[in-house]
A and B are shown apart, each in its own frame.
Chain A
Amino acid sequence: MEALLALVIGVLTACGVYLTLRGRTFPVVLGLTFLSYAVNLFLFAMGRLAIGRPPIIGEAAAGYADPLPQALVLTAIVIGFAMTAFVIMLALKARAELGNDHVDGRADR
């Protein structure tokens, strides 16, 4: 399970970095989204992977999952979601004002 999750995070990050370095705003926004997915999974995994364990105290629990990363991920998701919405609006505004969707506003590239 650890290897699979590490692979998923690695692939998401690689895709995110590649797309962020593209010249058009749409792939850049997608790349940032991929990066935030990767980091959310990464944060979640930092509490160690455990299946079927409760994060809050219960009487019959054999062990516990770390609740803090779950709270952190929740915060990170909310912030990431708001930021994505903002950057999409900004990209649309740039498309409208600069006349094309290149990040430098140059149509010839």
Chain B
Amino acid sequence: MNHLAIAPVLLPLLAGIVLLLMRHVDIRVRRVLSVAAVLVEIALAVALLAAVVDGDILVYALGNWPAPYGIVLVADRLSAWLLLTTALLALFALLHALRGIDVSGRHFHVLFQLQLFGLAGAFLTGDLFNLFVFFEVLLLASYGLLLHGGGRLRTRAGLHYVVLNLAGSTLFLFAVGTLYGVLGTLNMADLARLAAATPTENVGVVRAAGLLLLGVFALKAALLPLHLWLPAAYAQASAPVAALFAIMTKVGAYSILRVDTLIFGAGAGPVAGLLAPWLLPLALATLAIGTLGAVASRGLRLQAAYLVVASAGSLLTAFGLASAEGIAAGLYYLPHTTFAAAAAFLIADAIAARRGELADRLDPGPTMPRNRVLGGLFFVVAVAVVGLPPLSGFLGKFLLLRAALDHVWMPGVMATVLVTGLLTLIALARSGSLLFYRTQSAVVAPVGSALALAAELTPVAGLLLLVGALTVAAGPAAEYAQATASQLLQPYQYIHAVLGGS
């Protein structure tokens, strides 16, 4: 039994509880505690990554009940990769929130830690019902975070988000119930074993439950046509929350990838390849719609939100190729697109704060103080988001296109990815020139000190440094992604690790 697998789940939970108990303590103490908890979470994620990098799969049986009777936490390469991405993203989102957004409502740090608790649990659990529970934990925390700070538009967007996700949770339970009723287990490794041996009369029911699961995860991942909730919700959320939510669509993508490779993989007999006919076309359509939305957006934050939809589309396109190269390309692209999207929300907030009444509306406005620094940073963020060289987005898209070469859908994938890339470039170039070139001379906002500016832009710069690190370390990162993909495509390793001998 290795306790390392449960530590990243327990730490944010305990930190959240302690922060709740300390709600009357000075805010500076709580801030230090919250940041410290995230730093330790990063260290734990790195330790977990180091423990699984050689292909070991850590299994933690809660209460020492053996699988499949008890609930297990399973840490493999995929879980550790996503955990590290989440923890790094959380650090910079939190640093941005420390600039005052965390005191614009109550319990920000508690909700933030509980959100991390839900995310870590969702990535590590090896039980389908437990996945539902962690989804609920992360959703309930996200409802609180989304509404944090209040405001008319935010309440309206929050109401839509909550109602839609509650309906999604109901569907999740229907799918889980059906699978349990037919296969008699909820442990994902055991499900994979039993699904491969589904008797003929039950194949239809298992397929229905599997597609229902795809629907639920597609709602979380903002896959077309279930993406409509995302732009309004993300555009209305406060900047650090929107930045943290950049990982939320990836939870859906992770769940799709996990279920697709483990339960409905190539070795699943009568239910093999269940999701494949749906995933690639829908992902390409999502990419196209997200990009068109970004081109048509009238505000910078809405544009960033549509780019999150597009990034979910390209990620699922890579996973939808269903080859080791495709999945590896997607896994390399995943941290990049998460960091880039988060940086886009943070820089949009910094820009909106300097344009007075106009905020983030894409209309010609006043010249911003320190527009060279801001403009330069916006330029680098845009390069990262579009996927231009030299940053890792370019490498991710290159890997994706190379993986698509052998696929029957090659022309469609090539055309969609390249045209949407060009459209994103046009959209962001237009936004940039509107914000920084077509300006009137009057300066509305006071010029702050250089130190304050540096403090404000540190999170954005930090996220860009991570993107840079992913570019410099492209070799090891791509190798790791490749190893993860091959581990995912050999689900018997996972099944063996969880269930033992059989």
Contacts and interface: CB of A to CB of B under 8 A. Distances in A.
B174 interface: yes
B136 A39 contact: no
A56 to B, nearest CB: 14
A69 interface: yes
Contacts of A83: 136, 140, 166, 169
Interface stretch (B177-185, B190-198, B353-361): B177-185
Given A79-B136, A93-B155, A87 B166 contact: yes
B163 A103 contact: yes
A36 B163 CA distance: 12
B290 interface: no
Contacts of B133: 75, 79
B143 interface: yes
A103 to B, nearest CB: 6
A82 B155 contact: no
Given A46-B181, A83-B169, A104 B174 contact: no
B32 interface: no
B140 A90 contact: no
Interface in B142-186: 143, 147, 150-152, 155-156, 158-160, 162-163, 166-167, 169-170, 173-174, 176-178, 180-181, 186
A83 to B, nearest CB: 6
A76 interface: yes
Interface residues of B, number: 28
Interface string A41-78: 01101111000000000000000000011001001100
A39 B155 contact: no
Contacts of B155: 90, 93-94, 97-98
Given A82-B140, A98-B152, A39 B177 contact: yes
Nearest to B152: A97
B245 interface: no
B173 A76 contact: yes
Interface residues of A, number: 34
A90 B167 contact: no
B332 interface: no
A35 B170 contact: yes
B129 interface: yes
B159 A90 contact: yes
B129 to A, nearest CB: 6
Which of B147, B162, B163 has the most chain A CB within a 10 Å cutoff? B163
Contact of A103 (B152, B159, B181): B159
B140 A46 contact: no
Interface of B is mostly: helix
Contact of B166 (A32, A42, A97): A32
B170 A36 contact: yes
Contacts of B140: 82-83, 86
B166 A94 contact: no
B3 to A, nearest CB: 25
B182 to A, nearest CB: 9
Interface in B8-38: none
A100 to B, nearest CB: 11
Contacts of B174: 39, 42
Contacts of B180: 43, 46, 68-69, 72
Contacts of B167: 20, 32, 35
Contacts of B160: 103
A25 B159 contact: yes
Contacts of A104: 156
Contacts of A48: 181
A35 to B, nearest CB: 5
A42 B173 CA distance: 9
Contacts of A47: 181
A77 to B, nearest CB: 11
B162 A28 contact: no
A97 B166 CA distance: 22
B178 A39 contact: no
Contacts of B166: 32, 83, 87
A91 B140 CA distance: 15
A49 to B, nearest CB: 11
Contacts of B150: 97
A48 to B, nearest CB: 8
B141 to A, nearest CB: 11
A39 B178 CA distance: 11
A99 to B, nearest CB: 9
A46 B143 contact: no
Nearest to A69: B180
A105 interface: yes
B156 A87 contact: no
A70 to B, nearest CB: 12
Nearest to B150: A97
Contacts of B176: 43, 72
Of B136, B147, B173, B176, chain A has the most CB atoms within 10 Å of the CB of: B173
5 contacts: A32-B166, A75-B129, A83-B140, A103-B159, A105-B156
6 A-B pairs closest in CB distance? A46-B181, A43-B177, A39-B173, A35-B170, A46-B177, A97-B155
Interface of B: 129, 133, 136, 140, 143, 147, 150-152, 155-156, 158-160, 162-163, 166-167, 169-170, 173-174, 176-178, 180-181, 186
Given A16-B170, A90-B147, 17 more contacts: A20-B163, A32-B167, A38-B170, A39-B173, A42-B174, A42-B177, A43-B176, A46-B177, A46-B178, A46-B180, A68-B180, A72-B176, A83-B140, A83-B169, A90-B158, A98-B156, A103-B160
